């Protein structure tokens, strides 16, 4: 996967949240539009520094705690945060360490993915487990608007973060939540946090790399820095030294293999049809059955095409028989459709299109996932190498944890309406075929003007730009049936790529 310069869509479970303040796509508008103060009374415990019901404060007494929040130290960490919280002195002798608190606004915990994050703030963890603000005593306070339900995430720089399994009661403006009293307080239950003594639950130690997993890279890093002292990610028990007391937590018999249960991905549920292979109820899979589908994504084949993309998506074999072809999915982040210009692209990924129109990842089973922060609204573009690309007419909204969009069931589902895609049959719409050169327009350049002339390809078989119906051959079925005369003059309506069409250069 890859890869616009800005970001990626990922299948990986471990991801990075990039923005300091994240805004949920405003799919619904709250009746409580005015921001309000939310006082958080949170309690968590860290496994590393846990000692007889409280936590040690060695980093504090040794003078190792930094005066500025440390979550900007590792851009690859799940908790990477560039906030400017700082103090002139550590305000309280009971401070254990800095923690990062994140608010997510979602209809359910499963939906509370990174895109639902609305605010973050660094604070201090005291030895009794309470989290306080920079003055060392008062509750952490956020001023924000909650549209759905409020979930809270707590990160520590070398422990696995936790998210509340329950939404916080915000009716009084004071939200208390104690993670330590039951496994069910953390999302993921006993895989989300650890019972350290009977009845007390703590955050799992030893994610020294900050990637949300405890595994070999943590162990390797620890051995690399063994013997160091100070404020160090590898000092798992927070005693100021990377020393033997840290070791059990990175050995196989302790937290090895654990991973954060905080929802980290957002799923895309997309449906689109291609006109060429559409066969009354679904699309044909003849390129697949004849073995013509390439194992590497094909969108690097034409640097002049609108869909030119050099990502590394590759499969060792085509994972299922109902795959029609590769498509390229692109995410744009803009306040409205008309402003979703190429400069708003935040991610691209090549994927497989199934014969029922479903878009899936290269693993052959999962929906596409992405971890981008959408600060405005999410718009989705879909490209095919010889069909005309489409963009969602409206922003894509989150439902049950999935950003779902179906381009197929009405003219208005593609931006631009009935000139953006074609009616295949009643209440069924698909992408225009015949854009052989990928410039977003169907005209003579796709047919008789280009060096790769249709007629010169006539009779060839394989994975070919002029095989508009995707049956594996360039033949008169592509040219002589309704598609070419019907589509000549059509062009993509994707913002930034649309042009005036019907310029007289469109006839056979």
CA–CA distance, 127 with 53 (Å, rounded to integer): 9
CB of 243 to Ca ion, least distance (A): 5
Rule CB under 5 A: say whether 207 interacts with Ca ion: yes
Q: Does 325 bind Ca ion (CB under 5 A)?
A: no
CB nearer to Ca ion: give 47 or 207.
207
The smaller minimum CB distance to Ca ion, of residues 220 and 314, is found at 220
**For residues 8 and 237, which CB has a smaller minimum distance to Ca ion in the complex?**
237
- State which of residues 94, 139, 218, 313 lies at the interface with Ca ion (CB under 5 A): 218
CA atoms of 271 and 254, how far apart (whole Å): 44
Min. distance of Cβ 116 from Ca ion in angstroms?
A: 24
228 with 241: CB under 8 angstroms? yes
Contact call for residues 152 and 164 (beta carbons, < 8 A): yes
Between 306 and 337, CB nearer to Ca ion: 306
Distances (CA, A) of 399 to 108, 142, 256, 262, 269: 10, 26, 34, 18, 10
Nearest residue to Ca ion, scored by beta-carbon proximity: 209
Distance CA 373, CA 145 (A): 18
Binding track, positions 10-29, relative to Ca ion; x by CB under 5 A: --------------------
Interface stretch with Ca ion, choices 60-68, 94-102, 365-373, 465-473 (CB under 5 A):
465-473
With contacts defined by CB under 5 A, how many residues of the chain interact with Ca ion?
21
Characterize the bridge pairing of strands 402-406 and 149-156: unpaired
CB of 245 to Ca ion, least distance (A): 5
What is the DSSP secondary structure assignment for residue 441, as one 8-state letter? Answer: B
Which DSSP symbol is given to 413? G
Is residue 211 involved in binding Ca ion (CB under 5 A)? Answer: yes
Given a contact cutoff of 8 angstroms between Cβ atoms, the answer to whether 357 and 408 are in contact is yes
Q: Does 471 bind Ca ion (CB under 5 A)?
A: yes
Out of 56, 113, 116, 213, the only residue in the binding site for Ca ion (CB under 5 A) is 213
Cβ burial 427-439 (10 Å sphere, 16+ → b, else e):
ebbbbbbbbbbbb
Closest among 40, 38, 46, 151 to 98, alpha carbons compared: 46
> If binding is defined by CB under 5 A, does position 435 make contact with Ca ion?
yes
Residue 58 binds to Ca ion (criterion: CB under 5 A): no
Is residue 285 at the binding interface for Ca ion, with CB under 5 A as the rule? no
Q: Specify whether the CB–CB gap between 20 and 90 falls below 8 A.
A: no
What is the distance between the alpha carbons of residues 459 and 95, in angstroms, rounded to a whole number?
A: 76
Q: Is position 57 an interface residue for Ca ion (rule: CB under 5 A)?
A: no
- Binding residues for Ca ion, per CB under 5 A? 207, 209, 211, 213, 218, 235, 237, 239, 241, 243, 246, 435, 437, 439, 441, 446, 467, 469, 471, 473, 478
């Amino acid at each position: 996967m890859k890869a616009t310069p800005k970001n990626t869509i990922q299948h990986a479970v471990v991801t990075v949240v990039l923005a300091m303040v994240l805004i949920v796509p405003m799919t619904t508008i709250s009746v409580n539009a005015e921001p309000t103060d939310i006082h958080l009374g949170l309690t968590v415990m860290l496994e590393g520094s846990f000692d007889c019901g409280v936590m040690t404060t060695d980093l504090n007494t040794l003078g190792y705690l930094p005066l500025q929040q440390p979550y900007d130290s590792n851009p690859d960490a799940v908790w990477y945060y560039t906030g400017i919280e700082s103090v002139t002195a550590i305000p309280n002798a009971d401070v254990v360490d800095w923690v990062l608190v994140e608010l997510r606004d979602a209809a359910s915990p499963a939906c509370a993915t990174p895109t639902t994050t609305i605010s973050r703030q660094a604070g201090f963890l005291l030895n009794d487990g309470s989290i306080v603000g920079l003055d060392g005593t008062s509750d952490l306070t956020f001023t924000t608007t909650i549209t759905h339900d409020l979930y809270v995430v707590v990160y520590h720089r070398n422990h696995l973060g936790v998210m509340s399994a329950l939404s916080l009661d915000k009716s009084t403006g004071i939200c208390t939540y104690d993670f330590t009293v039951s496994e069910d307080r953390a999302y993921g239950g006993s895989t989300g946090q650890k019972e350290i003594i009977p009845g007390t639950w703590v955050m799992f130690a030893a994610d020294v790399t900050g990637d949300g997993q405890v595994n070999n890279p943590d162990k390797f890093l620890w051995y690399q820095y063994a013997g160091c002292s100070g404020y160090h990610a590898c000092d798992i028990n927070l005693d100021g030294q990377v020393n033997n007391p840290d070791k059990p937590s990175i050995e196989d018999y302790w937290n090895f293999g654990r991973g954060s249960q905080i929802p980290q991905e957002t799923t895309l549920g997309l449906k689109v049809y291609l006109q060429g292979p559409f066969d009354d109820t679904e699309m044909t899979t003849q390129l697949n059955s004849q073995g013509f589908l390439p194992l590497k994504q094909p969108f690097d084949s034409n640097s002049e095409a609108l869909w030119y993309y050099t990502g590394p998506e590759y499969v060792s074999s085509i994972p299922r028989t109902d795959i029609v072809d590769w498509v390229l999915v692109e995410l744009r982040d803009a306040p409205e459709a008309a402003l979703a210009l190429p400069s708003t692209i935040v991610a691209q990924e090549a994927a497989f299109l199934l014969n029922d129109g479903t878009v899936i990842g290269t693993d052959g089973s999962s929906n596409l996932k992405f971890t981008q922060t959408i600060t405005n609204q999410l718009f989705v573009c879909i490209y095919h190498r010889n069909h005309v690309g489409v963009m969602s007419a409206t922003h894509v909204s989150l439902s049950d944890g999935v950003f779902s969009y179906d381009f197929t069931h009405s003219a208005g589902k593609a931006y631009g309406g009935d000139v953006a895609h074609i009616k295949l049959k009643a209440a069924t719409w698909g992408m225009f075929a015949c854009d052989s050169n990928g410039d977003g327009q169907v005209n003579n350049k796709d047919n008789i003007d280009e060096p790769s002339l249709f007629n010169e390809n006539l009779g060839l078989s394989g994975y070919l730009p002029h095989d508009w119906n995707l049956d594996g051959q360039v033949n008169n079925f592509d040219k002589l049936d309704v598609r070419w005369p019907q589509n000549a003059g059509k062009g993509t309506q994707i913002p930034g790529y649309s042009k005036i069409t019907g310029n007289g250069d469109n006839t056979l």
